[in-house]
Structure 1
């Protein structure tokens, strides 16, 4: 409808303008024809922008609807697990020590899964909100990386994954927001667990390259399709193929990108289908940013 409302009047206006120029007899006809053609060109440009804007908003609305559906599903899973444990205990089937141990472990798993989801959504809102400034301080890279890995390996989905940590000696500190950087690294490790191979091998490495601290997270999973690589850091983007079948909010990599860029850094991904993926964060060392304590 929008296209018709723009194109039809524009074509008619352009036709009038061309006829006026072709049959001109006086200077007024030339001026009139030029004005009509200018109006037509402006209408085309404005219509094109309007159509693009509408399509973008429709796409964003679809992505937001997917986000709500995915968050609802992720909330439903741990809540159902917690309810199952509660009903089992209410029925008096938790008297046996072995059964009670299983129920306790199940309850802990679901609580951690729920806690992780809440933390991810809150992290996104905090980073996305300009009203909440980042709290900059000196951040030790070794402790940051190990804390991020520890926060992931305790999750149920990471139970069968092998996560190796390799941190270079004597790395300078980062000057940044500890919570934001923690969520960025943690999201990359969590993604490696979710999208990597079953019983996958994940490597988290931190080194110094020139004036930068470089953190790499690699997995041996199925990799990322070329079509997804172009959009992988976009908000709410869930990917195609096998990646789309893995439940998630579509916020993780958007959080990573926002945090890294807020620290004057860069994030990139390298991947080929069937050969895993490597995400790389580059951040200026504190000594290079003028904050060496």
Structure 2
């Protein structure tokens, strides 16, 4: 689909360029006609069979009140020279027309050049991002592949006899293979979302439980890094129709970024609160932060911050782009607030779709009952 739009844009630009050339040719022809009109005709007798000029040019008359006024008059008859006033007036009108046409052609050409330059710049930037993406994905996949290969070769050589070691090696191979498979699945999912072929399965769900389950997957990693994770769910929450798997993936991407880009202090806070008849999910950290100039582009595919610790951290550059696709599919919005050296806060807002709410003890209640307290 992307290639189709790029080719169509190029075709439109070619058509506009062709129209501009045609207009330029028409303008040159107009200037020649203007020069010819400025030259007075040489007087001479009428040729045999010729008609007077007022007979050749006949124009209707317009009646305005009691008088009849001709729309256009020609004062030249056979053997007479044209009056300079009429020729000057005609030349002036043609000059103004030619000048306006020249300005239109010039503006069209400049507009085409600007659009072409913008397209080339965007395509060049996208090609660079794709190249960086391929390099990063290759590096990310190489790590689990190397681990799997090393442990598999060790087991094949029969160097490990201890059953506990064998179980540990098998567990590492299984874990790394799942990690590799998840990477491939993420890339394929993102490609389907980009092509709008991914099918979301919406069903009522408790957003609080969904976020708590997603956060539980990172608690051990945070604790091993010497940090802490705090999850707060403010109930009652509206029951929203969501794709639980996709939304969990979006939350996991935010949590993964919070863990990855936290410096020494890995303090991650997650909150789920009702907001504007919907649900807001906030993931905040005390990490390295994002430069203000980069915040508008971090949700673009393949884009990664190019300065500081963020540049040295490996990644495919798809996590936030995928999260945005998922949130948009739920008619929601995702925003970021960040300061360098102080951390970042990502907020996912999901609008309300259903009419049910969740009470503090997990029971479903109607909105009217919730409003009554």
| Same fold (TM > 0.5) | yes
Once residues 123 and 165 of structure 1 are traced to their aligned partners in structure 2, the CA distance between those partners, rounded to angstroms, is: 28
For residues 178-197 of structure 1, what are the structure 2 equivalents within 5 Å? 178-197=244-263
- Name the structure 1 match of 2:173: 107
- Contact 2:285–2:344 under 8 Å retained in 1: yes
- Name the structure 1 match of 2:105: 39
Deviation, structure 1 residue 100: 2.9
- Contact 1:263–1:283 under 8 Å retained in 2: yes
State which of 345, 350, 361 in structure 2 corresponds to 1:278: 345
Q: Mark the structure with the bigger radius of gyration.
A: 2
Q: Encode CA deviations 1:59-102: one digit per residue, 9 max, x unaligned.
A: 11111111111111111110000001011112222212453354
For residues 74-113 of structure 1, what are the structure 2 equivalents within 5 Å? 74-113=140-179
- Contact 2:288–2:343 under 8 Å retained in 1: yes
State which of 133, 136, 145 in structure 2 corresponds to 1:67: 133
* Structure 1 gap segments, 5+ residues each: 1-5
SS at match of 1:224: coil
Once residues 122 and 204 of structure 1 are traced to their aligned partners in structure 2, the CA distance between those partners, rounded to angstroms, is: 28
TM-score (norm 2): 0.67
- Contact 1:211–1:288 under 8 Å retained in 2: no
Deviation, structure 1 residue 289: 9.8
Matched, 1:238 2:238: no
- Name the structure 1 match of 2:80: none
* Structure 2 gap segments, 5+ residues each: 1-16, 39-90, 358-365, 368-373
- Name the structure 2 match of 1:229: 295
Q: Which moved further from structure 2: 104-113 or 50-59? A: 104-113
SS at match of 1:35: helix
Matched, 1:266 2:333: yes
Q: Encode CA deviations 1:114-148: one digit per residue, 9 max, x unaligned.
A: 23312322331333232333221112112211232
Matched, 1:252 2:319: yes
- Name the structure 2 match of 1:210: 276
State which of 126, 138, 149 in structure 1 corresponds to 2:192: 126
Once residues 313 and 178 of structure 2 are traced to their aligned partners in structure 1, the CA distance between those partners, rounded to angstroms, is: 19
Once residues 331 and 108 of structure 2 are traced to their aligned partners in structure 1, the CA distance between those partners, rounded to angstroms, is: 39
SS at match of 2:284: strand
SS at match of 1:222: coil
Q: Which moved further from structure 2: 250-259 or 165-174? A: 165-174
CA distance 1:105–1:133, shift in 2 (3 Å): closer
- Contact 1:221–1:274 under 8 Å retained in 2: yes
Q: Which has the higher contact order (CA 8 A, sep 6+)?
A: 1
Give the aligned CA root-mean-square deviation in angstroms: 3.0
Q: Which moved further from structure 2: 139-148 or 102-111? A: 102-111
Q: Encode CA deviations 1:240-265: one digit per residue, 9 max, x unaligned.
A: 22212111111111111122122221
- Contact 2:265–2:287 under 8 Å retained in 1: no
Once residues 269 and 121 of structure 2 are traced to their aligned partners in structure 1, the CA distance between those partners, rounded to angstroms, is: 40
Once residues 356 and 195 of structure 2 are traced to their aligned partners in structure 1, the CA distance between those partners, rounded to angstroms, is: 25
CA distance 1:126–1:75, shift in 2 (3 Å): same
CA distance 1:218–1:239, shift in 2 (3 Å): same
- Contact 1:158–1:193 under 8 Å retained in 2: no
